[in-house]
Amino acid sequence: MPQFSYRARNAQGGLVEGVLNVADRAVAIQQIEQQDCVPIRIEAIATGPQVLDGKAVAAAAAPTQNLKIPHGQLLIFTEQLGHLLQAGMTLDESLGVLEKRLKHPRVQQMTHALHQALVDGRSFSQALRDFPRIFPALYVNMVGAGEASGALPEILTRVVEHLMQTKNLRDRVQQALIYPAFLALAGSALIIIFITFMVPQLTNFMAQTGGTLPLPTRVLVGANHVITGYWWVFVLVVLGGIVGFRAFVRSEEGRLTWDRFRLAIPGYGRIRQHQYYAQFSRTLGTLMENGIPLLRALDLVTEIAGNKYVEAKLRDVRRAVIDGANLSSALAKEKLFPELFTDMMAVGEQTGHFARTMQTIADVYERELDRTVNVISALIPPVIIVLIAVVVGFVVYSILSAVFEMTHSLQARPQ
């Protein structure tokens, strides 16, 4: 009969280890749970050549490496798995139920693979690593902490909350910029239509009636000639700029320079900074609440920064923490975060409520982000409208100047 070594956590929170002689892994899980223990790891003991070696396991997991599902489906999967576990079902049973309940084909494929990994004796967090495009390192490490602490249902609930907060933060920023982007696009289209269609009609009419065009009209006509006669030059310049920019940001130094510049762009840089302050503090607080060590938590928040300049600064912060510095003083030295942020963090370190303080900091900067986004999104439309009005006004003035000049020339001609 197959043998399974296991590690579990009992009702008092202590670790229990042993070996079971049972028919399969499902029976092993059942026996462990009958002892009022929560299984953390169950592994089949190698008894012969039928046990897969590392290469076979890697080959079996290879098809899952590129699997990806929508973010909304990940939320549904995590939330429902947490509900089933809270209802008293085992992890093995919960995945079996979700495999039948969730209808999305790729989600079913993922759930089946996770279920099979548990049957094969792997832990849930180990199985999640087979899907790097679905489950980020933050997700996997929080699940691992939940398995080790015996509080996986509660951890999954917090993961859902974190994913939803991150998504809502990103959506608020994107939605606030949709209207200004639409105005800019519509205004550019209007100006191009004026120059490319109305100006040629005006010049043809002036050529038939004679007369000299005023300076504003000649400028407008010149712009028309440039746009209609040399549009291909603009296309080549744009394409060349795109290719050159991509080559620049592919280099380590170029990417670092560009990411640092993005944080300094007026308006946009402030939004990105406040967005990262909120994301950093929320993620770090969530990780620390769930038992992730500080250095590992710093690694995870560095991975999700999305900015090479910030990543480089955080690596310097991590080295300072290893050398014995407090996190707040290390961050203050790098001048990556504002003084209010590091001062509040220092209070959390001194009082022993670091994780709770980080969640409070996240609330503060999410509110600040909302205010910043609202102010900037309110300012951008009138600025764009004024710029469009100036250009359109110049076009109209140029046309009217030509009309008045033509009228004056006709009146001045001898009868």
pLDDT tens, position by position, 296-352: 888 888 877 778 899 899 999 999 999 888 999 999 998 889 999 999 999 999 988
What is the bridge-based pairing of β-strands 38-44 and 3-9?
antiparallel
- Which pLDDT does position 56 carry in this prediction? 41
Whether the CA torsion 131, 132, 134, 139 is positive or negative: it is positive
Burial class (CB in 10 A: 0-12, 13-18, 19+), 29: buried
97 Cα distance to chain centroid: 30
Q: Which residues contact 340 (CB under 8 A, 6 or more apart)?
A: 364
Are 409 and 218 spatial neighbours (Cβ–Cβ below 8 Å)?
no
Domain boundaries, the chain: 1-51
Q: Tell me the C-alpha distance between 264 and 249, whole Å.
A: 17
- Which pLDDT does position 336 carry in this prediction? 86
Neighbours of 164 (CB within 10 A): 13
Are 81 and 3 spatial neighbours (Cβ–Cβ below 8 Å)?
no
Tens digit of each residue's pLDDT (9 = 90 or more) over 97-126: 898 888 888 998 999 999 888 887 788 888
Flag residues of the chain having pLDDT under 50: 48-62
**Of the candidates 43, 71, 77, 61, which has an alpha carbon nearest to the alpha carbon of residue 131?**
61
